[in-house]
A = this chain, B = another copy of it.
């Protein structure tokens, strides 16, 4: 099956499907993604062995069910998609879901797994975190606050990296002042990369094995590498533990792009 014929099939069902997109949904999405108090879930799936044996027409039908489930839930949760296949050995696709309540995320993932497409998914990993107001920023200097507020360069940032971390028991035993001083050094090390590497932090203590999920987007992976190298050299790094096989690297894709790529 050629790429163009797949595209044709994709076009047909895109026209059939009703992709709701209104101003209210966009506002809700913006709020979930930027304000504190939202639950962020990272769910990694691998396609089972039977997926590779389906013919392209069947795949298109099944991928349509993926699209249907996403549409059905997007009033309550925001859904971002990432292609891990070809970059990560942990799975094929990753969903990042934001919701006001975690049961809404569960409902979306239940429907996803019950769908025709979901029957081909094996759950590799699910991690949860909570967006919160910054812990240490209030005590930073005005200059640093201003630097942190500098807008990042516009444009698409195709690469996404997810790193869950734990802090050592010693870290939590330190008083707030000492932790704040170390976090200031940590934050200063990130400033040179504020424009090219976008960051988002999720707090996980109790919700999952890690204490934090750190999430990054960039179009310049070399800058991201330099940022991570800088963060390894600050004092706070000695209290940081990565757990398991932590780093997930993928590329951000629209739902349509994922459908097209998996249809092949």
A interface residues with partner B (beta carbon < 8 Å): 37, 39, 48-49, 52-53, 83, 85-89, 101-103, 105-110, 113-114, 118-119, 123-126, 128, 130, 158-159, 161, 163, 169-170, 172-173, 203-209, 211, 221-222, 224-225, 227-229, 232-233, 235, 237-238, 240, 242, 244-247, 249, 251, 261, 264
Residues of B within 8 A of A113 (CB): 85-86
**Given the known A-B contacts A85-B109, A114-B264, A169-B238, are A229 and B206 also in contact in the complex, defined by CB atoms under 8 Å?**
yes
Q: Which of chain B's residues have a CB closer than 8 A to the CB of A103? A: 158-159, 251
Closest to A169 in B: B238
B173 touches A233 (CB 8 A): yes
CB distance from A23 to the nearest CB of B (A): 28
Q: Cα distance A143–B214 when bound, in Å?
A: 41
Chain B: minimal CB distance from A243 (Å)? 9
Cα(A120)–Cα(B252), bound, Å = 27
A206-B235 in contact given A105-B87, A106-B86, A106-B251 (Cβ < 8 Å): no
Which of B130, B228, B264 is within 8 Å of A222, CB to CB?
Answer: B130
Q: Give the distance in Å from the alpha carbon of A233 to the alpha carbon of B174 in the complex.
A: 8
Other-chain contact of A85, B110, B119, B161, B246 (Cβ < 8 Å): B110
With contact pairs A85-B113, A173-B233 given, residues A209 and B246 touching in the complex (Cβ less than 8 Å): yes
- Select from chain B the residue with minimum beta-carbon distance to A223: B206
Contacts of A247 in B (CB 8 A): 206-209
Task: Give the CA-CA distance A218 to B101 in the complex, in Å.
Answer: 13
